[in-house]
Amino acid sequence: MQYLSTRTPSHRVSLSAALQDGLAPDGGLYVPARFPDLGPDAFEGCATIEAVAERLLRPFADGDPLADSLPAICAATYGFPVPLRPIGRRTHVLELFHGPTAAFKDVGARFLADSLARLNEDADQPLTILVATSGDTGAAVAAAFWKKPNVEVVVLYPRGKVSARQEKQLTGWDTNVQTVAVRGVFDDCQDLVKQAFRAPTWQEHLRLSSANSINIGRLLPQMTYYAHASLQHWRAHGTAPNVIVPSGNLGNGLACLYARACGLPIGEVVLATNENRPVTHFLETGAYEAFDTEETLATAMDVGDPSNMERLRHHWPSAEGLREVVGAERVTDEQIGEQIRRGPDLWDTVWDPHTATAVEARDRLDPHDEHDWILAATAHPAKFPEVVEPRVGHTVDVPEPLAEVMARSHAVPEIAPDLDALWDTVAAASTVASGA
């Protein structure tokens, strides 16, 4: 399988190169050159999610140095359950939050971490991954790369601009994962990462890479839980379930569309967004427009210009064509709050603010609709106690893996938003940069 850049389709690279580069040299995003044909029969004998993942991803790694390691990478990606739980009214919840940081981003981050560690096993110098985070991505990436050999990670977050619980998830790491608190906002952190990639000193002393959400190595593994869930449903009922995906940067929704394009039994796909309108506006008007980001209760979906829109439009160039493959529902903060409040009574479930957008989209569908629906639950409600607890009227227990991460939280260095300050901090911790 080859991967091509959305901006220069003739520029083609292997899976390994796409994973290591992140972004194509022309600034485009890597997409698979084709989708393999894998209907339900192709998965005969694949009972576990690891087995389904291995079967589905095999053609995507075909001819690549990682191909032989694929079973091991898929095993390292999961190791936690991804249950499909029926909750009544032809509705099932796909719980994507049983990983170490209690959100679906664990899956993509762990696949990428294991792949990059394998690719760098024999390198003379470790790979240094820089990540700027406003919260959840950084925690998933830090957890995934922690203690991986020959890879070092530097996570930058804006001090005081993330919730107390998020800060604990970002600062529970050591050895090869260094967290740095920046006196600034998220954009300052992002800027520092960009500056580092251009700075001669950094280029000279370190092998830099990134693990941000536009890396195809985070998108591909996300197909696997939709594959597993739809096959479970297909085997039990003989029908293809529809799926609703809470969406912001569109990586998770796109993975669901990719899984269906490979032949998995998935019916309609609906993207549920918060009040940010780039997706619904594009589908309604046919003209893509970026918007200023609006802050909502579903913070991880606060995106005004989703990067994966470029992939979506590469595969389905017209809004008309896109409307045929995907729907979208925009959900207000008031509706998110109301769905969380009613969750325990109506669905016997405490929803997190992101999943609540999917529940609202489900509610809007025709009550006589005869299809089965799967709601992707993207995070555990305990990650967002400030939003959830006042609405359901009780505290929400923190799941064990996340509690373990937060219990390790410790003081981290704090710097001004300045590249020299960051270099001093990184060099002090890194064996390579300090020449030790």
Ligand X SMILES: *Cc1c(COP(=O)(O)O)cnc(C)c1O
134 contributes a contact to ligand X by CB under 6 A: no
Sign of CA dihedral 310, 312, 315, 319: negative
CA distance 214 to 28: 10
Smallest distance, ligand X to C-beta of residue 431, A:
33
Chain positions 321 to 380 lying near ligand X, rule: CB under 6 A, are: 354, 378-379
Cβ-based nearer residue to ligand X, 20 or 212: 212
Strands in 91-95's sheet, in edge-to-edge order, are 84-88, 91-95, 373-377, 242-246, 269-273, 327-330
Q: Is 426 in the site for ligand X (CB under 6 A)?
A: no
With CB under 6 A as the contact rule, which of the stretches 73-81, 122-130, 180-188, 243-251 interacts with ligand X?
243-251
32 binds ligand X (CB under 6 A): no
- 51's tokens: 């087995």
Number of H-type helices and E-type strands within the chain: 18, 14
Rounded-to-integer distance, Cα 250 and Cα 303, Å: 9
- Phi/psi for 39 (5° steps) reads -75, 180
Minimum distance of ligand X from residue 251's CB (angstroms): 3
**Interacting residue with ligand X among 22, 158, 246, 381 (CB under 6 A):** 246
At 412, the amino acid letter reads V
Single residue of 256, 300, 331, 415 touching ligand X by CB under 6 A: 300
What mask, x for binding ligand X by CB under 6 A, covers residues 81 to 100? Answer: --------------------
Q: Does 270 bind ligand X (CB under 6 A)?
A: no
**309 touches ligand X by CB under 6 A:** no
Residue 212 in the binding site for ligand X (CB under 6 A) = no
Among 99, 172, 248, 343, binds ligand X (CB under 6 A): 248
Residue 145 Cβ vs ligand X, minimum distance, rounded to whole Å: 18
252 in contact with ligand X (CB under 6 A): yes
Q: Is 120 in the site for ligand X (CB under 6 A)?
A: no
**What's the CA gap between 266 and 352, in Å, rounded?**
24
Determine if 241 is a binding residue for ligand X (CB under 6 A): no
Among 32, 126, 251, 401, binds ligand X (CB under 6 A): 251
Q: How far apart are CA 394 and CA 132, in angstroms?
A: 33
- Cβ nearer to ligand X, comparing 108 with 158: 108
Q: Is 243 in the site for ligand X (CB under 6 A)?
A: no
Strands (DSSP E) found in 211-338: 242-246, 269-273, 327-330
**Nearer CB in complex with ligand X: 206/266:** 266
Say whether residue 249 binds ligand X (CB under 6 A).
yes
- CB-CB contact of 26 with 11 (8 Å): yes
Closest CA to 193 of 146, 139, 157, 149: 157
Q: Interacting stretch for ligand X, rule CB under 6 A, among 10-18, 125-133, 195-203, 249-257?
A: 249-257
Nearer Cβ to ligand X (6/176): 6
**# residues near ligand X by CB under 6 A:** 16
| Cβ at position 275, least distance to ligand X in Å | 14
The span from the CA of 229 to the CA of 232, in Å, is: 5
- For ligand X, which is the closer residue by CB, 254 or 426? 254
DSSP-assigned beta bridge partners for residue 86: 92
Nearer to ligand X, 312 or 419 (CB): 312
Q: Rounded to an integer, what distance in angstroms lies between the CA atom of residue 372 and that of residue 228?
A: 16
Q: Which is nearer to ligand X, 398 or 422 (CB)?
A: 398
Q: Residue 241 phi/psi, 5° resolution?
A: -75, 150
Nearest to 208 by CA among 8, 424, 435, 423: 423
CA distance 44 to 46: 6
How far, in whole angstroms, is CA 111 from its chain's centroid? 11
Shorter beta-carbon distance to ligand X: residue 115 or 249 = 249
Residues that bind ligand X (CB under 6 A): 103, 105, 136, 246-253, 300-301, 354, 378-379
